[in-house]
Amino acid sequence: MSDSAPPHRNPRHGRLTVRPHPPVAPGPSGLVPMTGPDGGDVAIAYAPEPATDGSAYRLVLLLHGASGSARQGLDLLLPVADAHHLLLVAPQSSAASWDLIAGGFGADVGRIDGLLATAFDGYPVRDVTLGGFSDGASYALSLGLANGDLIDAVLAFSPGFAAPPVTHGHPRIFISHGVDDRVLPIDVCSRRLVPHLHGLGYDVTYEEFDGGHEIPTPIRDDATTWLTIP
């Protein structure tokens, strides 16, 4: 991650302004609901027990698919969080899907910035990753490429596209896609997207699998290994 000053907030550009810093107070372990200014639940987090050696977490922000839930986002990596010391934060989109899908970055960028600030206040964070499935994967790629000075890696399971209005840095990228996907067909999605990203100079690891619009356990395990053992 860059040590440069954080950008000024401009949600339309998809820029995240917060940066990891020493925690203000210790956050709780386990499942943690996260609320917005109106008191409503806007995300759910999961924090493994602190490491005995005091090492910081890798924070993974996980984004659900269209019409999905924060819990569905969390479940993408919840089974492996303890083993790999992953601090998971899963927001709920402000509408049925993420703001970019509806026409441009906006409300969800501000929500994510606030959630990251809350996580940084409560937990020591070493690295920040974006991950998602389907629409959430497209959003993770787009937001990740716009914030490569904060985001060091992106996990995109069955994405449709990447459309960052600006780009910063070069996060490494993992993309998977099922060859029988009927929701976001592989030929017009990842098989076009991956060569494009390679052409722009991004380090992309790409896996195709026999299956549809899903994340098989072996793919999740490969993605976790890629993320935690670079």
Express each pLDDT in 170-184 by its tens digit.
999 999 999 999 999
Instruction: Please check the confidence at residue 38 and state whether its pLDDT lies above 90.
Output: no
Express each pLDDT in 110-167 by its tens digit.
999 999 999 999 999 999 999 999 999 999 999 999 999 999 999 999 999 999 999 9
Residue entry with tokens 């899908």: 101
Q: Hey, what domains does the chain have and what are their CATH numbers?
A: 48-228 (3.40.50.1820)
**What percent of the chain is modeled with pLDDT above 90?**
88
**What percent of the chain is modeled with pLDDT above 70?**
93
Q: What is the pLDDT of residue 66?
A: 95
Q: What is the pLDDT of residue 199?
A: 97
Q: What is the pLDDT of residue 10?
A: 63
Instruction: Please check the confidence at residue 210 and state whether its pLDDT lies above 50.
Output: yes
Express each pLDDT in 69-110 by its tens digit.
999 999 999 999 999 999 999 999 999 999 998 889 999 999
Query: Taking the model in full, what pTM does it have?
Result: 0.93
